[in-house]
A and B are shown apart, each in its own frame.
Chain A
Amino acid sequence: MKLPQQPDWYKDSIIYQLHVRTFYDSSGDGIGDFRGLQDRLDYLQELGVNVIWLLPFYPSPLRDDGYDISDYCAIHSSYGTMEDFRSFLAAAHGRGIRIIIELVLNHTSDQHPWFQESRSSRHNPRRDWYVWNDTDDRYRDAGIIFVDTELSNWAWDPVSKSYYWHRFFSHQPDLNYDNPQVREAIWEVMKFWLDLGVDGFRLDAVPYLVEREGTSCENLPETHAIVRELRLRMDQAFPGRMLLAEANQWPADVCAYFGQGDEFHMAFHFPLMPRMFMAVKLEDRKPIVEILQRTPQIPDSCQWCIFLRNHDELTLAMVTDAERDYMYDEYARDKSMRINVGIRRRLAPLMDNDRRRIELLNGLLMSLPGTPIVYYGDEIGMGDNVYLGDRNGVRTPMQWDGHWNGGFSSADPERLYAPLISNPVYGFQAVNVESQKRSEHSLLSWMKRLIQVRKSTQVFSRGSIEFLHPLNHRVLAYVRELGRERVLAVNNLSHTAQAVELDLLKFKGSIPIEMSGRAIFPRIGDLPYLLTLGPYQFYWFQLRRF
């Protein structure tokens, strides 16, 4: 299968996010690997995703799940070899699946040779590759990100007898992007992977690249200049590749990372994500409508990435204090579910394993503007384990079947990189791919159909959005439009049946055709269009004219 060649292919993507360690272990050592992942590409192709986003797989002491990189141009031995990666990449491309990989620009592991050299002496050529200071009183306006574990953004290095700057864990010293050698080195890293054939990068922690006194050290103009430089070089040498920004900021601040279409191709819409959860709990469309109405226009070549869950906590950084308190009270009453400024739970447990709510949220994910990301395991409703520490509870082994180790590995269960979820509700015996493949009515089967419908038209991936404002605020309704094509999405956010009258006068004469079953609904006339929806039900209608 050939990969679509249009330069903005990322707009039509359905992204599947996973860590190679979690997916499938081919070697029997208890850790997922690239050969195992390659083995499971058919599953992903059947699911309908066309991009895989891989979390960091580089050599690392693994003190931050691989985000502490000690070698940018290699594969961690637990996951296989560079040859395994090449083989996997080719196999993915052969199935029409693109691969984007994680690149942690902001910092390295303190075990990275660059840092080892930098700390060894004030006169080392790489000394200036990191941000050093004799005291810890610079950049006081920068906030601490990992508030649960870090007390300061400076750490004392006993080897170097000075302080180094770290916005994340203290074992992750920040690179000094004021140094052109650093920028060049990072470009060489990117070039290495682009040469191999990867289709793009998700650049981690972008806002924090540059520090300046008297600022928050986030989103500075110099950071944007660095991104523009990397983008320009990539476009020139490797056209058609993609950069995805991780910038957990308000939409107006994230928009800056699109530049004039000359910085990132895509960026996560972080503020939308918690508001989808909030809207379902409040049974009120207000949070979703307001945040999208406050989202500025972005360059035509750019695209938002939207998501429900990921490998991190459900971040509540981009909400008000009242909203955060509400989310904690409603979704994480047990404080062990909370970490940093967020909630470390998977989608299904957050929805109390309510199939209808899980479907509704996925329906929103697939119909609101942006490229959707599915977090591995959420397509079968996997559970979590908040007692595994940090965010490891949402990074447990993929559940393939009800047999030995859930079909993930042939190793002894004690040897697995993390224990499987094994409780009667979410455990691998109850929730797994094999059993769900056997049922047309499983969540997995439903997700496949949903993705299929999503991909059947470019309206969802490229169309505009116009919100309708029916009196019933429990119903979220909007029209997506691209050229002459229109889709009406109507979502009942409430746990009770709802009636709603929609003002569709401007579409008078159109016939709504429900997109999953192709049923014809009454033609739109002069009167408000009455619909009734069951609890958490949603419809997608093509509005056809004949």
Chain B
Amino acid sequence: MSEESFLSDDFVRQLMSVGEVDVLVAIRSRNDRKTIGNVVRSAEDCLQRRFGRQRAVLVHVDAGSRDGTPQAAREASQLGIANGYESLRTLRWIRTDTGSSAGEEHVLRTVLSAAELLHAKSCAVVSASLESLDPAWIDSLLGPVHREHFDFVAPLYERHKFDGLLTRNLLYPFSRALFGKAMRELRATEFAFSGRLASHTLARPEWQNEGIRAGGEMWMALTAMSHGFRCCQTYLGPKPRASSSAGVVDVIRQSVSGFFWCLESTDSYWLKGIPQDEIKTIGPDHQLNTEAVRVDRKKLLQMYRSGVEELSQILCAILDPETHAELKRLAALDEPSSQMSNSLWARVSLEFAAAYHHSVLHRDHLVQAFVPVYRGRVCSFLSQHRSDSAEAIEADLEDLCNEFARQKTFFIERWSTKGKGET
């Protein structure tokens, strides 16, 4: 039985009409009618002004928007309108809709397929929700691929000190310890890659695995690191704060399960014990905005307490007794004293990851159990750093990274054994 193609006939026809390109910029959208206009104009501006000699294409991949996003994108386009700039070449838009039921990995796979079919040498992906995007950002992403032949370019942002905490507390220090590279934004909605990496990624067998639904972009970055592709990161600018807590549990669960799955798919690489290595960083490697904001630490602590209590049996199956006991002890303390140290947090994360790998329980339940523990960590973080400077926060992050690195050997052993403490 033939495998059904995930590329529609119409999209293939559009690809045919474009032919070979040097540069591809993909815009991903889902219900982004209000913000896609600026993204469209920024992408066109960048390609016309900074890549005017290259054969370029803009690819809009929409995931079943219902708010008129595709129409808004068409209306926002300035191509064909006199804008004071005469580009040498025809700049083309091609568009496809992957449907609302298709996951993020489907969007990524569509972009990679377009890149491969068009023989694109340099590709960038941006999110239509990023209202602050400007043409220089796209140039910053594409530039290292186009001019310096890097294969994967991750972004760096200026963030609020209390933003991106999952990335800064888990994804970054954990991946840095295992993969040896300090790539800060592993789960990025803006990144760039080479045609070479696109072809390699597209050919991987992991597309058939359910796990990729949760971790497509992370997996691509980690695959690049683990298969000898040249990686770097580049500073873009301020990233607007994420909207409030709506859907944040799903985000945490998806990111954590995606990350743990990525570790599984790349373990043949990092199990060897990879030493720390420099990653080229273009621009400042961190920028924190320390503007004061109100956060409800009490609620977080309450969620942590109730989670530790209600999920005690589950946590007992996942964690070492000492680790579990320490979490319970902290849960019983009042806020100022209930501080989850870097050492404890690293230990908890590593034990969870190993438990995920060994499927000590159903993986969904395991990841669900991680959520309240993560909230406890966040509460500690907010409390500890509420008045801290950017430098102090960065120093603490470095300490956290060192903790993960220090416990790496333990983790590798735990990962490689059948269960807790077994050989």
Query: A residues touching B (Cβ–Cβ < 8 Å)?
Result: 278, 282-287, 320, 322-323, 326, 470-474, 494, 496, 498-499
Contacts and interface: CB of A to CB of B under 8 A. Distances in A.
Contact of B17 (A284, A323, A326, A471): A471
Given A278-B88, A472-B19, 4 more contacts: A284-B55, A322-B86, A472-B16, A494-B19
Contact of B52 (A322, A470, A494, A498): A322
A471 B93 CA distance: 10
Contact of B90 (A278, A286, A326, A496): A286
A285 B53 contact: no
Most chain A beta-carbon contacts within 10 A, residue among B55, B90, B92: B90
Given A286-B89, A320-B86, A326-B88, A499 B16 contact: yes
B14 interface: yes
5 contacts: A286-B89, A326-B53, A470-B17, A471-B13, A473-B92
Ranked nearest first, the 10 interchain pairs of A and B with the lowest CB-CB distance are A471-B17, A473-B90, A472-B17, A286-B90, A284-B89, A284-B90, A282-B89, A320-B86, A326-B88, A474-B19
Contacts, number: 37
A496 B14 CA distance: 18
B114 to A, nearest CB: 15
A322 B88 contact: yes
Interface string B127-157: 0000000000000000000000000000000
Interface in B77-95: 86, 88-90, 92
Contacts of B14: 471
Contacts of B13: 471
Looking at chain A's contact residues, is the secondary structure mostly helix, strand, loop, or mixed? loop
A286 B90 CA distance: 6
Contacts of B89: 282, 284, 286
A499 B18 CA distance: 11
Interface in B36-53: 52-53
A106 B98 CA distance: 66
A277 to B, nearest CB: 12
B60 to A, nearest CB: 16
A323 B53 CA distance: 9
Interface in B56-94: 86, 88-90, 92
Contacts of A284: 55, 88-90
Nearest to A471: B17
Nearest to A330: B53
- Per DSSP, are chain B's interface residues mostly helix, strand or loop, or mixed? loop
A78 B315 CA distance: 105
A470 B13 CA distance: 12
A320 B53 CA distance: 13
A282 B20 CA distance: 12
Nearest to B92: A473
Contacts of B19: 472, 474, 494, 496, 498
Contacts of B86: 320, 322-323
Given A322-B52, A470-B17, A282 B92 contact: no
B176 to A, nearest CB: 42
Nearest to B86: A320
Contacts of B92: 473
Contacts of A283: 55
Interface string B84-126: 0010111010000000000000000000000000000000000
A498 B16 CA distance: 9
Contacts of B20: 496
Given A472-B19, A498-B19, A499-B16, A285 B90 contact: yes
A286 to B, nearest CB: 5
A232 B92 CA distance: 50
A323 B17 CA distance: 25
Nearest to A500: B17
Given A322-B52, A326-B53, A282 B88 contact: yes
Nearest to B17: A471
A314 B55 CA distance: 25
Contacts of B88: 278, 282, 284, 286-287, 322-323, 326
Nearest to A289: B90
Contacts of A470: 17
Nearest to A286: B90
Interface in B185-237: none
Contacts of B17: 470-473
A278 B53 CA distance: 11
A326 B17 CA distance: 24
Contacts of B16: 472, 499
Contacts of A287: 88
B45 to A, nearest CB: 15
A287 B90 CA distance: 9
A323 B86 CA distance: 9
A105 to B, nearest CB: 33
A470 B20 CA distance: 16
B14 to A, nearest CB: 7
A148 B358 CA distance: 77
Interface in B297-329: none
B59 to A, nearest CB: 15
**B19, B52, B53: which has the most chain A beta carbons within 10 Å?**
B19
Nearest to A278: B88
Contacts of A499: 16
A177 B89 CA distance: 43
Nearest to B90: A473
A291 to B, nearest CB: 11
A233 B92 CA distance: 53
Nearest to A282: B89
A259 to B, nearest CB: 29
A322 B88 CA distance: 8
Contacts of B52: 322
Interface string B1-37: 0000000000001101101100000000000000000
Nearest to B53: A326
Nearest to A498: B19
A301 B24 CA distance: 48
Contacts of B90: 284-286, 473
Contacts of A496: 19-20
A498 B20 CA distance: 11
> Which of A278, A320, A471, A499 has most B Cβ within 10 Å?
A471
A477 to B, nearest CB: 13
A326 B52 CA distance: 10
A499 B13 CA distance: 11
Nearest to A475: B17
Contacts of B55: 283-284
A301 to B, nearest CB: 32
A107 B17 CA distance: 52
A398 to B, nearest CB: 36
Contacts of A286: 88-90
B194 to A, nearest CB: 22
A511 B289 CA distance: 69
Q: Chain A CB within 10 Å — which of B13, B53, B88 has the most?
A: B88
B87 to A, nearest CB: 8
A494 B18 CA distance: 12
